[in-house]
Structure 1
């Protein structure tokens, strides 16, 4: 992880403070003041550098090229990388990869993973999907794509649909959420569709998942949106963006920690806003493979300290 200058000064200051105080504690310990001070400084630095997240997840779409051939083996390997939560997607084998929802839950328990949510087609059999998801303890079913709309009146129709889907989910004992792409952060008729959706949906039944990459790509500020709408963002996608990617370029996903997004700061704002679930997603694998990328992402996030 790359530390910025402020992080260095903060850590160095804490270490210096430990060096000033701890020599007095060395009396009677059989150790010199310098030895005690060094140990105390190291302990202080270690405390400061303690990773922030004890649990984080991965969107299984990140390994879409390999998981269909061996769903169980792939998921077991991901669990071994340190992912304690999975978020699914609805592919040809369904949300539960050819298993019943209860069989899938049993396998999640076997490998020590919590299946927290899934992207799915909310326009087909949504009530049944909500019931099954609730029965195995999932928290959210998420609409992953709505598509750009031509007018703000069209976005009003979308907001009404969100409220209706939210009511359906609530009745089943689960929550509905919407996952953004860049088009909701592009102004239309003098308004920002993302703001309109948040302000015209019922927080009692509608949540939002921020894909941080897709906020940054069209030029918006994820920290500002976390601060503007606290309590509405229940989860986020941790997806980094290539440092040399042109403005607006969507095909620019990279291994987390190697790109341009300052995740220490962004996720600190996410936590303050009330985000509960932190989900890694990667869509591009330049000079890598899906599984190697997933492993590298987990290694970075597991050591990340929020700013």
Structure 2
């Protein structure tokens, strides 16, 4: 499958070059050659596979989902994590049609953020039918009391049971609010310690852990095997630390991703998903391409 992905991605890049005018087909300069090697994946990094959360390019997805996904595949992404942009997690297609698109591009549709509190049986059945690995609850919002988080832990266990019955996993994606002390407890800690590891996994949004003043590496090591997915999302050092919308190009911010991802790989994190929500000087697709280049060349 990996060889097929590389063939498809290289064919996409080289195929685009076949339509260039002759004046653009002269031998590249040294610096251009280096850039082209990164695009073609010649600079070998640690990660063979990495993905992107489609919310990073949500406007492009709303305009033309198929064209956007084709472009992402050409950048070197091998995995896709979806979300419900108003047309469902399959963007108006049948689940099997979406699966065919992924297969044609050498992509794995590994997971999607979804409303797991409604129609979960149907969603899990459709996701499992095309080989997805996860359905992920992306947001519950700040809660008024720890009793609310206790009820959520029970809900997560029940949702995990439904997903397990259909052959996939349930996970919860954190924001910053679960790391803010409430009634003398850290809600994230309670959720992790009171959900069944056989039923519930977690997707660490590294940016939100860091923005909440916590150490992502500490949490990864404290709960080995529980954070099976991770959002690779950097934080700008040019904004106030508490700024909620402060993401930037990966590698241009203040987070130490070689160390964070090393800890993840050593403690059960299987999926590494690029996400960026703020764009300063680039547009979302340009940022997606640059972030893919960072991921491909990452060595630690």
TM range (shorter): 0.7 to 0.9
Structure 2 CA distance, aligned partners of 1:94 and 1:200?
A: 31
TM alignment of 1:123-138, pairs within 5 A: 123-138=117-132
1:226 corresponds to 2:229 = no
Q: Give the aligned partner of residue 198 of structure 1.
A: 192
2:59 alignment partner, SS class: coil
Q: Deviations over 1:128-156 (max 9, x none)?
A: 00000001000000000011111111110
Q: In the alignment, which of 239, 246, 260 is matched to residue 266 of structure 1? A: 260
Corresponding residue number in structure 1 for 2:205: 211
Asked if the contact 1:219–1:247 (Cα under 8 Å) also holds between the matched residues in 2, the reply is: no
CA distance in 1, matches of 2:44, 2:170: 33
How many angstroms does 1:247 deviate by? 2.5
In structure 2, the residue matched to 1:157 is 151
- Number of the residue aligned with 1:288: 282
TM-score computed with the length of structure 2 as normaliser: 0.85
1:236 counterpart (230, 237, 246): 230
Residue 165 of structure 2: which of 167, 171, 177 is its match? 171
TM-score, normalised with respect to structure 1:
0.83
Cα offset for 1:245?
2.5
Shift of 1:189: 1.2
Matches within 5 A, 1:26-65: 50-65=44-59
User: SS where residue 279 of structure 1 aligns?
Assistant: strand
Contact persistence 2:82–2:89 (CA under 8 A): yes
Which consecutive residues of structure 1, in runs of 5 or more, have no partner in the other structure? 1-48
Q: Residue 83 in 1 paired to residue 77 in 2?
A: yes
| 1:80 CA drift (Å) | 0.2
CA RMSD of aligned residues (A): 0.9
Find the counterpart in structure 2 of residue 277 from structure 1. Answer: 271
Cα distance in 1 for partners of 2:211, 2:51 equals 22
2:96 matches 1:107: no
- Secondary structure class of the residue paired with 2:97: helix
Could you tell me how far 1:50 is from its partner in structure 2?
4.9
Q: Cα distance, 1:244 vs. partner?
A: 2.4
Tell me what 1:32 maps to.
none
Which residue matches 2:10? none
1:142 equivalent in alignment to 2:136: yes
1:23-61, Cα deviation, whole Å (9 max, x unpaired): xxxxxxxxxxxxxxxxxxxxxxxxxx9511011000000
Q: Secondary structure at the match of 1:142?
A: strand
Show structure 1 runs of 4+ deviating over 2 A. Answer: none
Match of 1:234, SS state, is strand
Q: Is the 8 A contact 1:218 1:247 kept in 2?
A: no
Report the more deviating stretch, 173-182 or 65-74.
65-74
2-structure distance, mates of 1:239, 1:208: 16
